[in-house]
Amino acid sequence: MKGQLETTLADVEPLLSVTAVAAVLDLPLSTVYGLARTGEIPCVKIGRAVRFSPAAIRSWLAERSGP
């Protein structure tokens, strides 16, 4: 079982912080927090922390990209 868990976790991308997402999107922290609070950007809440899946952010950006 332990080997199975390690393999599964090895395939998971680390979650991004609000600071990291704000830097990538070139947005203020307050804007990223607001987007997360309203559900406009995909995020995960872990306790009081807000984190973002890199894959979900890539998909979210692709949906909003022009033709």
The runs of H, that is alpha helices, within the chain are 2-10, 18-25, 29-38, 54-64
> Which range scores top for mean pLDDT: 4-8, 55-59, 63-67?
55-59
CA 32 – CA 18 distance, rounded (Å): 7
Position 15, amino acid: L
Instruction: For residue 52, give both structure tokens.
Output: 């973002």
pLDDT digits (tens, 9 = 90+) for 2-42: 655 666 777 888 999 999 999 999 999 999 999 999 999 99
Instruction: Provide the whole-model pTM.
Output: 0.81
